[in-house]
Structure 1
Amino acid sequence: MFSSPRPLRGRTDENDYSPPVDVKDTGRGYELIAELPGVRREDVTIEVEGDRLVLRGEKHLEQRIEGFDYLRVERRSGPFHRVYQLPKDADSSSITATFELGLLKVTIPRKVQVLGRAIPVR
């Protein structure tokens, strides 16, 4: 559950940007929280493809300016693509997402289980 299979297309290169993601069980469902500093809301997409949650986006950085001597370059940019296997009890039709202060929070509720009901006899 919530394993992260390899991306559906291509492979991960060590130079690719891959945001850190936490996944937690809240009891009522699951939360996926991705750190996306510098990523714009319009550059992020979330899709459910079958039993998988797919997070895609792109982080843009300013272009390196010729004539400057960069002593160290640690920030990464570029497209990212993360795929998560949804748990069997996830209600994929009720997934919601918010994006604030560089954090993407995806809320995945559990399916409501109907344990049974009494049927009146008329």
Structure 2
Amino acid sequence: MVNDVLKTLREKQEDLGKTITDYTAPTTPYLDLVETPDEFILIADLPGVEKESLSVDVTSDSVTITVTFPVGMEDEGVNYVKRERGSGEVNRTIKLPAEIKIKKANANFEEAILTIKLPKKIAETHKLEIK
């Protein structure tokens, strides 16, 4: 009898877990950050995203990608059998290992792939006069 109760509880727990994952928000975009001698290249996969739903902000040492996922069908009167496509906004900030030239950075979005080129800022050396 105790085993039957435990089995039922486990099944209900699994069902609850499935229900919760069916309503999760969109996930963080997957990306690669490549370093060359002159620049960083950030490549992000964004399937199902429109260019108008993207925003990229850069600072001297970070990049923030914001994606707004459209709202799906209105929930009213819709009987979802399975719901995995989320809606809402997702932000991802990537800290860069060196400073970049902000005004020279550029972004391209083609075939669901966002490519951001971030030219490195060259460290300047200044000789100090010793007094």
Residues 1-122 of structure 1: pairs in structure 2 closer than 5 A: 15-17=24-26, 18-49=28-59, 51-63=61-73, 69-112=79-122
Any conservation in 1 of the 2:60–2:99 contact (CA below 8 Å)? no
State percent identity of aligned pairs: 28
Separation in 2, partners of 1:74, 1:37: 14
The match for 1:5 is none
Q: Which moved more, 1:40-49 or 1:97-106?
A: 40-49
Q: Over aligned residues, Cα RMSD in angstroms?
A: 2.8
- How many corresponding residue pairs? 103
Any conservation in 2 of the 1:39–1:102 contact (CA below 8 Å)? yes
Separation in 1, partners of 2:61, 2:119: 14
Post-superposition offset of 1:81: 0.5
Length-normalised TM-score, structure 1: 0.66
Any conservation in 2 of the 1:54–1:83 contact (CA below 8 Å)? yes
Can you give the 5+ residue segments of structure 2 that lack an aligned partner in the other structure? 1-22, 126-131
Is the radius of gyration larger for structure 1 or structure 2? 2
Q: Helix, strand or coil: the match of 1:42? A: helix
Alpha-carbon displacement from aligned partner over 1:51-90 (angstroms, at most 9, x marks no partner): 3221112122531566664333233332110111233242
Greater per-residue helix proportion: 2
Higher relative contact order (CA 8 A, sep 6+): 1
Length-normalised TM-score, structure 2: 0.62
The match for 1:119 is none
Can you give the 5+ residue segments of structure 1 that lack an aligned partner in the other structure? 1-13, 116-122
Q: Helix, strand or coil: the match of 2:52? A: helix
Alpha-carbon displacement from aligned partner over 1:21-79 (angstroms, at most 9, x marks no partner): 11111332111111111211111111124532211121225315666643332333321
